[in-house]
Structure 1
Amino acid sequence: MINHTTNGGNGKGGVSLNLDGVEREELEVDVLLVGAGPATLSCAIQLQKLAEAKGLELSVLLIEKAEDIGYHTLSGAVMDPRAIRELIGDDWKEQGCPTEGEVTFDCVDWLTGSGKVRLKGPFVPPQFKNHGNHIISLYQVVRWLKDRAEGAGVEVYPGFAAASVRYDGERVVGVQTRDAGISKSGEKKGHFEPGMNIVAKVTVFGEGTRGHLAKGLIDKLGLAADKNPQVYETGIKEIWSIPAGREMFGKVIHTAGQPLGTSGYGGGWIYGLKNDRLSIGYVVGLDQGDAKLDPHAMFVKWKQHPEIAKLLEGGKVERYGAKTIPGGGYYSMPKLQGDGFVIVGDSAGFVNMSRLKGIHLAMKSGMLAAEALVEALAADDTSATKLARYTELFEASWAKQELYKVRNFRQAFAKGFLTGSIDAGVQMVTGGRGLVARRTMSPDHEHMQRVANSTATKPRYDDGLSLDKLTDVYHSGAVHEEDQPSHLVVTDPDICVTRCTEEYGNPCKDFCPAAVYEWPHANAGDAKSAGGVVINASNCVHCKTCDVADPYQVIEWTVPEGGGGPKYIDM
């Protein structure tokens, strides 16, 4: 290997020949962070702060698959400011962190067939009280954090999609980024550019929800042994502009009831933004069980409810997005570290589903990881034993205390809405225990019932309030290089056109919120002869619903070429 100093910083680089016979550039750094979300950016900022205090000079690189920082970042979002105060200081707003404003009003609406029952003031459940929290655009916040990280000496590379983890035995030694310039048929095009091998003393995996590298890492190393399986919800979000005079700024409204009723776990939100805009969305648990469950259709039905429709009347959609949310909580979190790596944020399940909040927990996870990393790097020991300090710090933190108090919350709702509601109440007075000391839950895809039992229906669509999936995808800004191998891989296509057609009615065409999967065939025979499902990979908004909800687990979400995907500007 020929070492040289890279143009961008103090990492070392060279060229190496891989087992696939492709000559790849190799870059060596001390710390590699994968994904540019609140967890990794907080980790990078805290890492440099602590390293400077110890007199350590580190080469730190953060790579992100999106074309630009923030494009793949999506949240409701109401932020508990506890973590950002710790990271930046009590004057975080004065230092320029963007916020729509502090919450001035909160309530919970139970939507009936045509009206609502409102809980407000002292009747708002404690987990939905948001005074003191801030409504934000997470896109804007992560871009601000990126500037802070770069100012501290962190190299930030957008448009670099990490395709695979590189191992030395069971030790993680870095990642390989995805090749660019390969056609759908697998041929190298004229602008072929091989992926880069990035070698690191320690790698921080913060890819967000259902991160595909973290997923493989957890499976390979058994990091979730003796844990509850992670369970997910799919959230659909739109930004709306509404006529002036409705006085929604600073208001936070959560809804339950219609259209889901008591048939599953989920509900809606309405957050009042500056300049007569709203963040609205609907979340539904993927353990709901109906083979024709369509989170996007559920969102449209919610918007069509009279109470929501009158709020949106005369307005228009500006942005659209969708993502899965890891809701399993404390008992579903994998082991947080191993030889040469740590896992942070949504990839590790740092979400309080009871509060519908994860930003502050993601940030705290990154900060705790940074403390452990600095100690390990100072000792020149990034083994699993040394990095176990991360788990020790988490277990002693307020983040653990918060998650432990709701450790059985989401699992209780797997037994039905009534059982979940009762148990949630008991948990509030038993420190999170509830009716059962430790509830368990099956993976979401195991809850799916045969299509013959489906009761799901589709709403009517129009050009205003009730946009169809393809129109909404346009508002997501999703763009991918068309002539590339699909990043959505069906590992056993025969199951799709035989068993899945008969047993579940090909639910991918329903549960995908971006119209990626199409079944235009008249019957299974036609589908098989035509090659099976039509995959419109260019529509993908990287939500990971297919990877979670497919009943046979034969759909594997992998990364497309760097730069592809949605553009969640101001989301």
Structure 2
Amino acid sequence: MGEVVREQMEFDILIVGGGPAGLSAAIRLKQLLPSLEICLIEKASEIGAHIVSGVVIEPTALNELIPDWQQKNAPLDTSVQHEAFFYLPNEDKSINIPIIKSIMPQMDNEGNYVGSLGDFCRWLAAEAEAMDIQIFPGFAGSDLIIENNRVMGVVTGDMGLEKDGSQGGNYVPGMELRAKYTLFAEGCRGSLSKKLMGFFNLRQGVDPQTYGIGIKELWEIPQEKFSAGYIQHSFGWPLDNRTYGGSWLYHFGSNLVSCGFVLGLDYENTWLSPFDEMQRVKKHPIIRKYLEGGRRIGYSARALSEGGYQSIPKLTFPGGLLIGDAAGFLNVPKIKGTHTAMKSGMIAAESIVEALNTQQAEPMIYQFRIRKSWVYDELYQVRNIRPAFAKFGAKFATLYTGFDSLVRGKVPWTFRHRLADNDKLKAASLCVKPDYPKPDDKLTFSRESSVFLANIDHRDDQPVHLKLKNPSIWKTVNWDIFKAPETRYCPAGVYEVVDADHENQEPKLQINAQNCIHCKTCDIKDPTQNIDWETPEGGSGPNYSGGM
């Protein structure tokens, strides 16, 4: 294949990622400097198609960005009316933990709204386009343009490549999108953000990022079981004391329930399956009573950054900066990141305008502005809560959380994240297999039927976007020591072991990339970091519809 000639387009500002952070940054930039030429690219087929969240939105940042959002018909119609918080000691019992605002302010959802983050991002995109911001869905940022140690933009992925990487009959080379500054808003574990952190050593001096996987189902339930604005959280069963996680139920819209489960990816048991744990928790009486008689209409999954304050990397580099969950601004105890993502995008916009005026190569004022903002204060206050669960286990950490919340995090210590999630996994011989019952196809389901609901579209003959850096490691490490954990932690059945039961044949890993729902869990949890998630052809992947 000869040298590829790429079309070039130039802008003042380029934003990679069409989530709440990227869209908020674009809108704020136009508010401050309407003459700016702004381009936003999104790898999904449309804005919102890859967005996964509960979601309960705290409108703090939205009130600042678009004060008249209610008059502009933002899709936040269901306000939180009632909430409950449960500890589940076993599969039958539940203990209602009263939410005392003075002690547990992060759990207080008064004034917040339940809805679909995908729909909310579609609305934000419409607001942005009305301001002449150019939005290009279906364009995946596949590589960085770095010249003289400065980011000059990104290269979008080639279209029409064959499985072996050769140019097919419909081949179209990706474009070079160049800008004075590039904002990376890819969300958790973005592929370009990962490259940036390595190239500019942005993680030097900070704790490893720790992650969770959120698995979500959208249900339509009978009217008599529906209570608009009711939200419910639980922790405990089916997880053991050393494994962090919990469930949610959010009632919104017209008889819709967002049912989800988050599990920390620092878990130790190689036999554990986040997907199957999610199916198990639905059988608990406090959850099944709402779902029985209902109909599951959607399925999705996504990794989320849980490290918080200790794990935030250096945010700037020559030519750009990181915003939203690409930087790790999720407030884990609050179970919210939309408001912090939006605010980080707004602060980034203000910092970029200042950098343009002073012709700074690196918009370093952004780091300073974040530290002076309520985003920093909020994350600092809760910095010890998530690592307390890894340090003490769920039961003692729950007691510690009450104390830490009461004093608003004003303690003279900061717990650390010592190890990356992939380093926490124990050998299969040291772990006990959980008992996962077969699905009943009414309340619990298989991966196959779940993935069908994600509306995945990957062209079958495009190159596989999940790469093993060293294929020989899989047999000696993943199989021999951990018994193929990727077949369990992947919520979409992408990874499959073949020939494991055949005599005189070695087991082999089969990668069903067409099933991938872009959750990024494999890129995070693989024991040797041997799996590299790259962007597939633009527009590929899940297509989450309204309500997700």
| TM-score normalised according to structure 1 size | 0.92
- Counterpart check, 1:566 vs 2:542: yes
Deviation string 1:87-121 (CA, Å, 9 cap, x unpaired) is 000x3112211114110001101223312111245
Query: Of 319, 322, 342, which residue of structure 1 is paired with 2:321?
Result: 342
The equivalent residue for 2:202 is: 223
Which residue number corresponds to residue 280 of structure 1? 259
Whether 1:66 and 2:34 are equivalent positions in the alignment is no
- 1:13 equivalent in structure 2: none
Query: Which residue of the partner structure matches residue 497 of structure 1?
Result: 475
- Structure 1 residues 436 and 525: CA distance shift in structure 2, 3 A: farther
Partner amino acid, structure 2, of 1:374: V
* 1:192 Cα offset (Å): 0.5
* Residue in structure 1 matching 2:149, options 137, 154, 170: 170
Quote the Cα distance in structure 1 between the aligned partners of 2:505 and 2:152.
43
Matched, 1:28 2:10: yes
Query: Could you say which residue in structure 2 is the equivalent of 1:468?
Result: 446
Q: Which residue of 2 aligns with 1:391?
A: 367
Between the two structures, name the one with larger relative contact order (CA 8 Å, sep ≥ 6): 2
How many angstroms does 1:292 deviate by?
1.6
- Equivalences for residues 177-192 of structure 1 within 5 A: 177-192=156-171
Quote the offset at 1:526 in angstroms.
6.7
Q: Structure 1: any 5+ residue segments left out of the alignment?
A: 1-18
**1:464: how far off?**
1.6
Could you tell me how far 1:454 is from its partner in structure 2? 2.2
Counterpart in 1 of 2:379? Answer: 403
Matched residue of 1:227: which SS? coil
Distance in 1 separating the partners of 2:315 and 2:505: 43
Task: Write the letter of the residue equivalent to 1:551.
Answer: P
Q: Deviations over 1:197-219 (max 9, x none)?
A: 11111000000110010011011
Helix, strand or coil at the partner of 1:281: strand
SS for the counterpart of 1:304 is coil
Offset at 1:407?
Answer: 1.5
- Superposition map of 1:355-434 within 5 A: 355-379=334-358, 381-384=359-362, 387-415=363-391, 416-432=393-409, 434=411
1:414, distance to aligned residue in structure 2 (A): 1.2
| Aligned length, in residue pairs | 543
Quick one: structure 1 residues 105 and 527, their matched pair in 2 at CA, closer, same or farther if it must change by over 3 Å?
farther
State the alpha-carbon separation in 1 of the partners of residues 301 and 254 from structure 2: 23
Q: Which residue of 2 aligns with 1:536?
A: 512
Q: Which moved more, 1:338-347 or 1:119-128?
A: 119-128
Counterpart of 1:395, as a letter, is R
Q: Distance in 1 between matches of 2:431 and 2:227?
A: 37
Q: Partner of 1:476: helix, strand, or coil? A: coil
1:251 aligns with 2:230: yes
Moved over 4 A (4+): 523-528
- For the aligned residues, what is the CA RMSD? 1.7
Tell me how far apart the structure 1 counterparts of residues 422 and 452 of structure 2 sit (CA, whole Å).
28
Partner of 1:130: 109
Deviations 1:331-355 (A, max 9, x none): 1011111100110000000100011
Deviations 1:46-95 (A, max 9, x none): 0000013xxxx211100000011100111110000000000000x31122
Q: Which amino acid aligns with 1:36?
A: G
Cα distance, 1:559 vs structure 2: 0.3
Name the SS for the 1:32 alignment partner. strand
Q: Structure 1 residue 410: deviation in Å?
A: 1.4
| 1:366-401 Cα distance to aligned partner (Å, 9 max, x none) | 00000011111233x2412xx111111111111111
Aligned residues with identical type, % of pairs = 39
Structure-2 residue corresponding to 1:43:
25
1:23 counterpart letter in structure 2: V
Contact 1:300–1:459 under 8 Å retained in 2? no
Query: Secondary structure of 2:189's partner?
Result: coil
How far the C-alpha of 1:422 sits from its partner, in A, is 3.4
Q: 1:121 to 1:338 in 2, by over 3 A?
A: closer
Deviations 1:271-312 (A, max 9, x none): 011211100100000111110221110000001223322221
Asked if the contact 1:32–1:174 (Cα under 8 Å) also holds between the matched residues in 2, the reply is yes
Query: Which of residues 521, 526, 532 is equivalent to 1:556?
Result: 532
Cα contact 2:87–2:235 (8 A) shared by 1: yes
Q: Check 1:551–1:182 CA distance in 2 against 1; reply closer, same or farther (3 A cut).
A: same
Structure 1 residues 465 and 315: alpha-carbon distance in aligned structure 2, compared to 1, 3 A threshold: same
Alignment partner for residue 152 of structure 1, among 131, 141, 159?
131
Work out whether 1:86 is the aligned partner of 2:68: no
Instruction: Name the SS of the counterpart of 2:100 in structure 1.
Output: helix
* SS of alignment partner, residue 346 of structure 2: helix
Stretches of structure 2 that go unaligned for 5 or more consecutive residues are: none
Secondary structure of 1:139's counterpart equals helix
- Is 1:201–1:382's contact at 8 Å kept on the other side of the alignment? no
- Classify the secondary structure of the residue corresponding to 1:143: helix
Q: Distance in 2 between matches of 1:232 and 1:260?
A: 17
Give 3-state SS (helix, strand or coil) of 2:227's partner. Answer: coil
| 2:154 alignment partner, SS class | strand
Given the superposition, is the C-alpha separation of residues 344 and 318 from structure 1 closer, same or farther in structure 2, using an over 3 Å criterion?
same
Q: Does 1:102 align with 2:55?
A: no
Provide the C-alpha distance between the structure 2 equivalents of 1:87 and 1:258, rounded to a whole number of angstroms: 40
Q: Distance in 1 between matches of 2:463 and 2:111?
A: 47
The alpha-carbon distance between structure 1 residues 204 and 250, as it changes in their structure 2 partners (threshold 3 A), is same
SS in 1 for 2:480: helix
After superposition, the C-alpha distances for 1:18-46 in whole angstroms (9 at most, x for unaligned) are x9711111111110000100000000000
Q: Distance in 2 between matches of 1:302 and 1:171?
A: 48
Is the Cα–Cα contact under 8 Å of residues 447 and 493 in structure 2 kept in the other structure? Answer: yes
Equivalent position to 1:508, from 472, 483, 486:
486
Cα offset, 1:527, TM superposition: 6.6
CA offset digits 1:122-172 (Å, max 9, x no partner): 388332211110002111110111011111111000000100111013210
Distance change in 2, residues 1:153/1:501 (3 Å)? same
Q: What aligned pairs does 1:289-328 form with structure 2 within 5 A after superposition?
A: 289-328=268-307
Q: Structure 1: which amino acid aligns with 2:380?
A: Y
Q: Is the 8 A contact 1:62 1:157 kept in 2?
A: yes
Measured in 1, the distance between the counterparts of 2:482 and 2:199 equals 29
2:306/2:330 contact within 8 Å kept: yes
Please give the secondary structure, in 1, of the residue aligned with 2:195. helix
Measure the CA separation in 1 of the matches of 2:360 and 2:143: 20
Structure 1 Cα separation of the partners of residues 39 and 477 of structure 2 = 45
Aligned twin of 1:5: none
Report the residue type matching 1:351 in the other structure.
L
**Does the CA contact (< 8 Å) of 1:414 and 1:441 recur in 2?**
no
SS in structure 2 of the partner of residue 24 of structure 1: coil
Partners of 1:71 and 1:566 within 8 A in 2:
yes
The one-letter code of the counterpart of 2:458 is: H
What is the Cα deviation at residue 329 of structure 1? Answer: 0.3
Change (3 A) 1:511 1:389: same
